[in-house]
Structures are given as C-alpha cells and as structure tokens.
Structure 1
C-alpha cells in the first residue's frame, strides 16, 4: 500500500507543494526547454527532408532555421497562451501541434491532402485534450485552481 510523502507542518500550513528547484532553474528551463525541443524538431525535419541521403549545407541550414522557428513559436505560445481564455488557449495549442506534425509529415514526401488530414486529426485530438485539462483546472471565471 502506498502513502504520501511526509511534509513539514509549515509546508502543510502554507498549502504549497514541495518544489525541488529554485526560481532561477525554472526561469532557465523556460528558455532551455523550447531551444532543446526546437533542435530535436529541426533535426527531425531535416532528416525527413533528405530522406536518407547525404547531409548537405542546405540541409543543415534548413534544420537550424526550422529549429529556430519552432523554438520562437513555442516560446511565444508558452508566454501568451496562458493569458487567453480556456477555449482560445486550447485552440492555440491545437494549431501549434497540428501545424508542427503536418509540417513534419509534408517534409517526408507525403501528399498535401494526407498532410492536411493528419494535421487536422492531431489538432482535433490536442484541442479535446487541452480543453478538458483547462476546463477541469479553472473556475467559472477562468482563474486557475491550484
């Protein structure tokens, strides 16, 4: 049988959760996480585009520009989306996710219709998931419940 980890009386009185990292680490992660995800995404897009061929300078440039665009859009989404109402917040994440997956699929040589269909399917799934999450974690006025 499992039990919760013990907390000090002061932490219980504050009603806060245990935080392992400092505020400085969290601020650094707000930049490091989109950059790392952007590099992975850029490598993936460049690998899809070359389709197993040799790595060229243009392929590297494409990968880095894709990584830069992905990281900048993700940083903007992380900064601006929480200020939106829950419906628009979910739509923003759905559009970002659907567009990202559709772009990756289009780089692998798939047709435009399959790319658009996959993009819409992913966007619909992400919208449903995100809307449910935001709906269950906010009150009626749209304030987050902690």
Structure 2
C-alpha cells in the first residue's frame, strides 16, 4: 500500500501549495474592459426589450397589433429597464439578504405583471409570483453567502500575511 511522504522542510499535514504571499492563479479574463462594459449595459436593455415585447404580446391575446398595445409594451419595457438599473445601483449598498430579497421581489413582480395580463385568476398569479420570488431570493442568498464568504476569507488571509511580513 502506498503512503504519502511529507516533503522535507514541511511539517506533516501542512499544505504544500503556494504560500500566503504568492498570488493565486485565477482563470484568465478573455474579454476586455470595453466588452464587460458593453455587456453590463446591453444585457439589461435586451432583457427589457424582450420583456416589453412579451407584455405587449400577452396583452393583445392574439388579436391585431394596435398603437395602444405598442405603447403599453414600450412603457413596460421602460419601467423594467429603470427598475433594473435602480435595483442594481441600490442593491450593492444593502446587506446580502436585502440585496437578494430586492432581486426576488423584482423577479416575482415582473412575472406577476405579465401573468396577470393573461386573464388568469388573481390567486394563481400571486402564487406563481411568490414562488418565483422565493426561489430567486433563496438562490441569491446562497450565491451571495458563498461568494462573499470566500472573498472575506481571502481578505483575512491577505491581512494575516501582511501582518506576519
């Protein structure tokens, strides 16, 4: 049976990876800053356009396209985009749970608004909205806690390394 042998100069059980002062290897960023900026603004605008079209499509119930229908879809798109950018700006200042709850409420409200235009019972609409809001909130709480805890641990390691040197 083979056993691991400790490296000379290191105590048994110590990690033999890069030391606290050496930078960690990360995956390379293949996109430039301009591409990240473009995606940061283009994705919400594209999502708002799709949302506005979807609202207009649900509202007309398969009938002809009218000016009122187009205006309704455009106003929905504008409201979606404004709320998205406002939540993105405000959410960073909130604690993790508040940030996640804000995005969950946004997703649930967006679904509820579209679903209510289809003519279903209000109870069904509210239930679907609450289920989506709860799922988005739970997923984002998990995401924020795992990502922020890793960042906090990394910052603590860097602070310890700075104190020891």
Normalization by structure 1: what TM-score? 0.82
- Contact 1:98–1:122 (8 Å) recurs in 2: yes
Equivalent residue for 1:89, pick from 84, 90, 99: 99
Whole-Å separation in 2 of the counterparts to 1:91 and 1:69:
19
- Contact 1:31–1:75 (8 Å) recurs in 2: no
Whole-Å separation in 1 of the counterparts to 2:23 and 2:146:
25
How many residues align? The count is: 134
- Whether 1:28 aligns to 2:55 is no
Structure 1 regions of 5+ residues with no counterpart?
A: 1-11
Whole-Å separation in 2 of the counterparts to 1:88 and 1:30:
22
- Whether 1:68 aligns to 2:78 is yes
Query: Relative to 1, partners in 2 of residues 1:40 and 1:145: Cα closer, same or farther, differing over 3 Å?
Result: farther
- Whether 1:47 aligns to 2:47 is no
Root mean square deviation of aligned Cα = 2.3
Query: Relative to 1, partners in 2 of residues 1:71 and 1:139: Cα closer, same or farther, differing over 3 Å?
Result: same
Larger radius of gyration, structure 1 or 2? 2
- Whether 1:17 aligns to 2:15 is no
- What secondary structure is seen at the aligned counterpart in 2 of 1:138? helix
- What secondary structure is seen at the aligned counterpart in 2 of 1:67? helix
Displacement after TM superposition at 1:114 (Å): 1.5
- What secondary structure is seen at the aligned counterpart in 1 of 2:65? coil
Query: Relative to 1, partners in 2 of residues 1:40 and 1:139: Cα closer, same or farther, differing over 3 Å?
Result: same
Whole-Å separation in 1 of the counterparts to 2:71 and 2:128:
26
